[in-house]
A and B are shown apart, each in its own frame.
Chain A
Amino acid sequence: MIEFVNSVANGVLIGLLYALVAMGFVVIYRASKVFNFAQGELIVFSAFLMWAVVIDRQLPLWIGLPVTFIGAAICGYVLDRLFLSRLVGESVFSMVMITVGLLILMRGLIIIIWGAETRAFPVVFPLRPVIVGDIIMSQALVIGGVITIVLAFGLSWFFNHTRTGLALTAVSEDQQVALSLGISVRKSMSLAWIIGALISAIAACVYLSGRSLNLHAADIAFAALPVALLAGLESITGLIVAGALVGVAQSLAQYYLDPWLGLNIASVVPFILILLILLIRPSGLFGWKTIERV
């Protein structure tokens, strides 16, 4: 029983990390209807930036964190300006292809700038685990989970109640209408990319704190994909529930199925979920359904 509780608790935490990564997808998707395949590379980029400042240059964390966040924001802005904002009004397909190109380009650039070796990521959150009764949890993931929940509600409030946020939401619903209301689609997209890049910097800290860093860290974006799909690509608070579901499913599979089957089925669980979601409910649990009045 205690193993079950432990699996569930840690599953929820992993799921919340996925939700945090997925939040980056969702923010960018809402503004531009573009599914950003380079989201994982944004995470790796911020992670290497952090490594360069804190480990390589031996600067303290309180300098490293702001530098990473500012660097990530600039990176998001530049990517949007250079590649995506030129394509406003073009087909979404060409924009998505651009993000696939960005994925390859950023991988190359990261290798050129920082090399392909595995590096140590600084310890952002204390390494000591959080122990509640018999449940043992990673402190980074617990703090990360809290950050995810706060961020989800904060962003959701921002998108539904502030003028800037509602302008972004208007862009995500109907770009032409947004234009007719005097909302600049280009500026909104830039803002979305900046927010998306900042979220990936936070995700990098939570995910990699005290762990080793190499290009494979980008794979977490693909594990987070089913969370974004399950939540429905538009809902931000829905990510919390979707994240928890995917995380728990993966964690239980790891604990119960893997020893029984003798293979690592857990790492495939998110992708099986993608197929199921797309087959059964493509708009996700909380996504916008097309409102049709009859």
Chain B
Amino acid sequence: MTSAARSDGNMQGLPSPALLELKNIEAMYNGIVLAVKGISLAVRQGGCTALLGGNGAGKSTTLKAISGILLAENGEVNSGEIVFGGERISGVVADRIVRRGISHVMEGRRPLSHLTVEQNLVAGGSTLKSGAEARQRIEYVYQTIPRLADLRKRTAGYLSGGEQQMMVIGRGLMSKPKLMLLDEPSLGLAPKITEDIFALLATLRSDGLSLLIVEQNTRAALKIADTAYVMETGRIVMEGSAEEIASNEDVREFYLGLDKEGKRKSFREVKHYRRRKRWLG
């Protein structure tokens, strides 16, 4: 553990209570592979939490455990507890979790590629009570993301990556979520488009939506987040406020590629064995 880790971990001193809390979660695939080994984290009401870490750290599995999609992948949460808005949601099936107000925007965008943008949005509104409510919500999505209104009749599969990412975020908004889980919203997008996506997320946040973002683009994620966690091989190795994490020497070296003077350094010079020694030793 480094100095930044654990010092502010219990969320005390933050103004609003936790909306989502994970308590010592363990997640498995096929009853054998332990992908998440006892992690605890929290997203406060109206907050934005970033979950950082390299490939295979268990970030996506954590999100899938929260949204219940893990169950559909032969996975399960085999110990620990997930609490959302004061209610236990571990073991609840995915479609009920959406109804409770968690929307999961999955990795790799995953548009319903043979349908139009508007049809994608309608499908996203399946949990709403009436067709009228769905139409209202579509108007809200078009207002929030005006670009989608121009694309409404276009086939989703032929949109650009950035447009698809905006569409799936819009689709995730259809179910009127309180919390949105975003898995690598910047994956495969140009830096300019990534900026647009994060600007959109900032707007959503100011509208009152809480966010839990999994990102490999550490810089962009730390800019928008108030709290951050760093995961390595299924464990949380560091947690704290976004500023603390951003100024942590190890994060700066391993994730932001900066040296001690704050200059960019080549990732070739980053010694991976050092990361392993410091965090997992």
Contacts and interface: CB of A to CB of B under 8 A. Distances in A.
Interface residues of B, number: 39
A292 to B, nearest CB: 8
Contact of A173 (B67, B97, B113, B155): B113
A163 B119 CA distance: 9
A118 interface: no
B115 A163 contact: no
Contact of A182 (B72, B98, B134): B98
A293 interface: yes
A99 B15 CA distance: 57
Interface stretch (B82-90, B121-129, B194-202): B121-129
Among B68, B104, B161, B172, max chain A CB count under 10 A is at: B104
Interface in B149-171: 155, 157-158, 161, 171
B112 A173 contact: yes
A293 B72 CA distance: 27
Given A163-B122, A169-B123, A89 B74 contact: yes
A31 B157 CA distance: 20
A14 interface: no
A163 B126 contact: yes
A64 to B, nearest CB: 35
A176 B94 CA distance: 10
Interface in A226-246: none
Given A291-B158, A293-B157, A176 B110 contact: yes
A180 B126 CA distance: 11
Among B68, B119, B155, max chain A CB count under 10 A is at: B119
B95 A179 contact: yes
Interface in A178-219: 178-185
A183 B74 CA distance: 18
A68 interface: no
A177 B95 contact: no
Interface in B216-253: none
Main SS class of interface, A: helix
A176 B106 contact: yes
B269 interface: no
B112 A182 contact: no
Nearest to A164: B126
A33 to B, nearest CB: 14
Given A89-B74, A173-B113, A182 B175 contact: yes
A262 B145 CA distance: 68
Contact of B123 (A89, A170, A185): A170
A238 to B, nearest CB: 13
B69 interface: yes
A178 to B, nearest CB: 8
B92 to A, nearest CB: 12
Nearest to A180: B104
Across the A-B interface, give the 9 residue pairs with the lowest CB-CB distance, nearest first: A182-B98, A291-B157, A182-B127, A179-B94, A170-B123, A184-B95, A167-B126, A166-B123, A180-B104
Interface of A: 88-89, 160, 163-164, 166-167, 169-170, 173-185, 288, 291, 293
Given A174-B110, A182-B95, A291-B114, 13 more contacts: A88-B72, A89-B72, A169-B119, A176-B72, A176-B110, A177-B112, A178-B123, A181-B126, A181-B171, A181-B175, A183-B95, A183-B123, A291-B113
